[in-house]
Amino acid sequence: MTFPTAETVAYLPLRYVLTDSVAVRTSYDPLRVDSEGVVSGRAQRGMLAAALSRAGRERELTEWVARGDRVRFAPAHPRIEGGGGAVVALPAPAHLYVPGKDGDTLVDAFAGGTDAPGVPYRALREPVTVDRSRRASVDTTAERYLGRSSSGERGRGMPFFTTSLDPGQVFEARWQLRGPDPDFVRGLAERILDVLAEARGSLTLGAAGTRAHGGVEVGPVDPDRPLSPDRVDRPETPSWKGGEVDLLLISPALTVGEQGQYRPHALVPAVRELWKRRAPEADPPEVVAAHVEPVLVGAYHRAYRGPMAQRWAAAPGSVVRLRAGRAPTPELVRELESHTLGERAVDGYGQFVLLPTPPPGAAPLPEASAPRPERRAGTVTLTDGRVLPAPDPRDHDRWPDDLYDTLLWNAAVGPVRDHARASARALSVSAHGTLRRLREVISDPRRSPDETLTALRATLDTSLGPAETLHRRLAGLSGGEAALRWWTSSRPEDAHGSAYARGIAAVDLALTDGLPPAERPSGLSERAERWERRDVARLCLLWVASWLAEAVRAPREGTRRGEGGPR
């Protein structure tokens, strides 16, 4: 059965990546802003209006935003990427409960799943996907500022609280586009995407834009196919068991009761009326059960700088279970979902989806996932959600490695010097002339560390007689591979070595705990060992310089103490 419509309806899926924290007012309180886990359609309407005003597009501002007959905005829900595909998490159905304080299953209250005596039940509040396989964990942050006094008295301030959505999270909204024919709708979608692309970098969502809130990157979910015929993507064709279907509100519904007042529980009559109006040839459905929760809906009008009237509405997640004579066809589902329940449809209120009822019995509690951008090969995702190309290894920048080498060197200087001085104090060296010549050799700034060690070896080889102790202690030390062999056998060990290894491990970025790895004989990580091999000539030269300085100083102090020399 096909239900003709007077106009063409399609949806423009948009992907939002929050580059700053986003604060969206849900009620007017001069000293508090509490943001929900979704971005309201009204906030997106204001975002588009600001972009059109800055661009001087008055005609589009009137046609798309003010009139509301071509574009209807929609709330942006958390988008879970990765794990085999991207899915959108909708408000949790109000009939789903978790048994027990730390339960790991879901039960259907409409099917009698909450009738067990003595078992506490808690409602599922986190957004869940259509197939109830995953749920979203949206991150928020509470901040405090100093705001103006509510009395307007000058010179006095009041604490101002803001609960905002954290940056780096991903949301998806589906704006509804209407037109006389498909070509018009496709052209409208292209024009909207062009406006959003031109305003890239200046788009803001929500309130408190002057406090660095609201930065967002907006783009189509699928640039190759910008339009979708469905309000929500379903993983597979729904199976309507016994003709039963759950009508799930995904945005507040401002329904009006018989007395002309806003009443949340007027949702059920509004559902019956919509079904009768849009599907007159189908049998009227029977309402099996309903769970409708009220919520106070308000907003802050940024243009008028004042609050909007607050109304009672049916909360997102409210469910009406229906039983139709026949299972609804895909055409009927699309036709019904293209309409809204209640008032203020242009702001995204009253939107719903039709879902199959959950299977009987307890189902596993969906795993929680953060709505973060998917990591793609060849890219790097920053903390604010921006995706940048990964650096080419051939264009490797040396400054991080230089910084790493500097950290390890500064940590090794102290232990190496202490070890060399302790070694010099343990030996008695009387060849003061040779010591002075060696110190002159190592202090020549024109030589590299390898060249200095080679010159040191040549000076030792020409020294005879009293330089026997020096020959024995510095045996085999020279530039090149000889320096590595000497350092391997003479590096700080035991008590001094533990200080050396601990000092390097404390600043080694390759170690998570800052402690020397027990499984490596050297006490150094693999990366630190590579640095040690590269800088072995510098380490040897540092050790020799400290050893020679202490060997010259120790006899002098002994002479002053034993022979009464000048103090």
pLDDT at 384: 59
User: Which residues neighbour 382 within 8 Å (Cβ) at sequence distance 6 or greater?
Assistant: 168, 388
| Contact of 161 with 21, CB cutoff 8 Å | no
- What local confidence, expressed as pLDDT, does residue 353 receive? 93
Distance between CA atoms of 290 and 94, rounded to whole angstroms?
Answer: 9
C-alpha 234/C-alpha 74 separation (Å) is 18
CA 36 to chain centre: 17
Q: Residue 27: what pLDDT?
A: 56
Q: What is the 3-state secondary structure (H, E, C) of 290-335?
A: EECCEEEECCEECCCCEECCCEEEECCCCEEEEECCCCCCHHHHHH
The model carries a pTM of 0.66
For residue 391, what pLDDT is reported?
61
- For the chain, list residues with pLDDT below 70: 1-6, 25-34, 113, 146-158, 207-212, 236-242, 282, 299-307, 377, 380-387, 390-399, 428-432, 463-471, 493-497, 554-567
Q: What is the pLDDT of residue 212?
A: 59
Q: Please state, as a whole number, how many other Cβ atoms lie within 10 Å of the Cβ of residue 306.
A: 9
Give the angle 309-176-287 at the CA atoms, nearest 5°: 75
* Full DSSP string of 232-294: S--SS----GGGEEEEEESS-BB-B-TTSSB-GGGHHHHHHHHHHHH-TTSPPPEEEEEE--E
- 244-364: CATH architecture: Sandwich (2.60)
Task: Indicate the CATH number for domain 8-90+119-149+157-220.
Answer: 3.30.70
Name the token pair of 267: 């949702």
How high is the pLDDT of residue 561? 47
Q: For residues 36 and 136, is the Cβ–Cβ distance under 8 A?
A: no
pLDDT of residue 549: 84
The pLDDT score that the predictor gives to residue 247 is 92
H/E element holding 404? helix 399-426
63, 70 contact by CB (below 8 A)? yes
**Residue 15, helix vs strand vs coil:** strand
Q: Residue 566 has what pLDDT?
A: 41
CA 345 to chain centroid, in Å, comes to: 32
CA 518, 521, 522, 524: dihedral to nearest 10 degrees? -30
Distance CA 401, CA 312 (A): 60
**CA-CA distance, 4 to 6, in Å (whole number)?**
7
How many other CB atoms sit within 10 Å of the CB of residue 528? 26
- Ordered by start, the domain boundaries in the chain are 8-90+119-149+157-220, 244-364, 380-553
Listed residue (151, 143, 140) closest to 30, CA to CA: 151
